[in-house]
Amino acid sequence: MQALVDGVAETHGRLDILVNNAGITRDTLLLRMTDEQWDEVINVNLRSVFVAVRASLRPMMRGKFGRIVNIGSVSGLSGNPGQANYAAAKAALVGFSKTVAKEMGAKGITVNVVAPGFIETDMTEVLGDAVKTAVLPNIPVRRFGKPEEIAAAVAYATSDEAGFLTAQTIVVDGGMAS
C-alpha cells in the first residue's frame, strides 16, 4: 500500500483524496461465528483502512491538504443481528476517523465517514426478496439508495467546500437509522 500511495503522489505531484470503500460480510449469529469469519471481516473492513490511511498521511501533510473518507455503514451505528463482525468493524471506523481527524486537522487534512444504509449494490443484491420486502417499511423514503447518492456525499466530503467538515459521520440511509 505504501508503494502504491508513494507512486500516486510521485506521478501526480501530490495526494489529495483517499476514499476507503472496502467492505465484505460474513454474516452469521455470534454463537456460530468462527474466528476466521471474525478476522476476515475485521481485516478487510478495518485493518485495510488503517493501512491505507497511515500510508497516505505523509504525502497529504507535505501538500498541506487532504480529504479522507471512510465508507462505514448504518450497521456500525445501530448494530444488526448476524453482523457482529461487520458492525464492530464499521463502528470502529467512526472512532478511528474521529481520532485521525483530530490528529491531522491542523495539517489541513479532514477525515469523515459516509455511512450508507441499504444501497442497490452487489452486497444487497444477494439478499432474498423476503429480506428486502421486510426492510423497505423501515426506510422512510420506501426504497433502497442508489450508488450515485453515496457518491454525491463522498464528492461533497472530498471537495474544497468541505474544509470545515471533519470528524463527522454522514448517514445516507433514507432516514432508516433516525
pLDDT tens string 76-111: 999 999 999 999 999 999 999 999 999 999 999 999
Confidence of residue 62 (pLDDT cuts 50, 70, 90): very high
Average predicted confidence (pLDDT) for the chain: 95
Judge whether 81 and 128 are in contact, CB under 8 Å. Answer: no
Average pLDDT over residues 55-68: 97
- For position 172, what pLDDT does the model report? 97
Domains of the chain by residue range: 2-172
Judge whether 93 and 113 are in contact, CB under 8 Å. Answer: yes
- For position 160, what pLDDT does the model report? 95
- For position 93, what pLDDT does the model report? 98
- For position 35, what pLDDT does the model report? 98
What gap in Å lies between CA 103 and CA 25, rounded to an integer?
30
C-alpha cell at 111: 477525515
Our answer to whether residue 156 is catalytic in this structure is no
- For position 115, what pLDDT does the model report? 98
The Cα-based distances of 117 to 3, 36, 92, 136 in angstroms read: 33, 26, 17, 11
CATH fold for domain 2-172: Rossmann fold (3.40.50)
pTM of the model: 0.94
Confidence of residue 56 (pLDDT cuts 50, 70, 90): very high
- Neighbour-count burial for 64-101, b at 16+ CB within 10 Å, e otherwise: ebbbbbbbbbbbbbeebebbbbbbbbbbbbbebbbebb
- For position 177, what pLDDT does the model report? 87
| Catalytic-role residue among 86, 96, 118, 144 | 86
Checking DSSP bridges between strand 17-20 and strand 109-116, what pairing results, if any?
unpaired
What percent of the chain clears pLDDT 70, i.e. is strictly above it?
100
- For position 123, what pLDDT does the model report? 75
Over residues 102-145, the pLDDT tens digits come to 999 999 999 999 999 999 887 777 777 778 788 899 999 999 99
Over residues 24-41, the pLDDT tens digits come to 999 999 999 999 999 999
Question: Which residues, in sequence order, are CB contacts of 164 under 8 Å at separation 6+?
Answer: none
